[in-house]
Chain A
Amino acid sequence: NAGVTQTPKFQVLKTGQSMTLQCAQDMNHNSMYWYRQDPGMGLRLIYYSASEGTTDKGEVPNGYNVSRLNKREFSLRLESAAPSQTSVYFCASTSTGSTNEKLFFGSGTQLSVL
């Protein structure tokens, strides 16, 4: 089982460049999430998608856009990268309805913006 797959694992950008972080899950989950993690800040929610066709802003959406391409895929785009977006990015997914729901996480993308 692949679970949640994120690409790339590492990326270095120059200020102003754009890029898309890819996330795919093979567990038929309804909900998908993008978080960023900075030292001492825990996980902060950027955007989430409760179901295919819907997306909502989280706590820190500025500078990002998302696309829920289909049920499996949820991408995060940085249109014009800034040094403040240097962080570790995690994608996660879950599905409601079971008695032991949990978030499944990808392995993370370490992004540096110079």
Chain B
Amino acid sequence: EDQVTQSPEALRLQEGESSSLNCSYTVSGLRGLFWYRQDPGKGPEFLFTLYSAGEEKEKERLKATLTKKESFLHITAPKPEDSATYLCAAYLRGYQKVTFGTGTKLQVIP
């Protein structure tokens, strides 16, 4: 069974305190790995797509990396506006199924 697991469930950081979110996956064949940000009451907002082990992508204070079993979202010197739920999803090869993890709720305190 295809599974995507995110940890931790919740994370509280002081402004400027860097950290990483984890997304581990067990799937039949990975086409790509998505990262999204979601604010309360809103739909998911696209951040990154990663395709192969060793790939990295950056956007402002966020950097996403991918290995053969997991992906990390590194947040460098976060600000309060980075507070949100971060979702990862496995995009499966062959039949285009996309399975999400349960998310990490990040709170950045000023």
Contacts and interface: CB of A to CB of B under 8 A. Distances in A.
Contacts of A103: 34, 36, 44, 46, 89, 98
B107 interface: no
Nearest to A43: B100
Contacts of B87: 42-43
Contacts of A33: 98
Interface size, A (range): 20 to 34
Contacts, number: 60
B1 to A, nearest CB: 9
B49 A44 contact: no
B97 interface: yes
A100 B31 CA distance: 11
A94 B92 CA distance: 13
Contacts of A59: 99
5 shortest interchain CB distances as A-B pairs: A42-B102, A43-B100, A50-B96, A105-B43, A31-B96
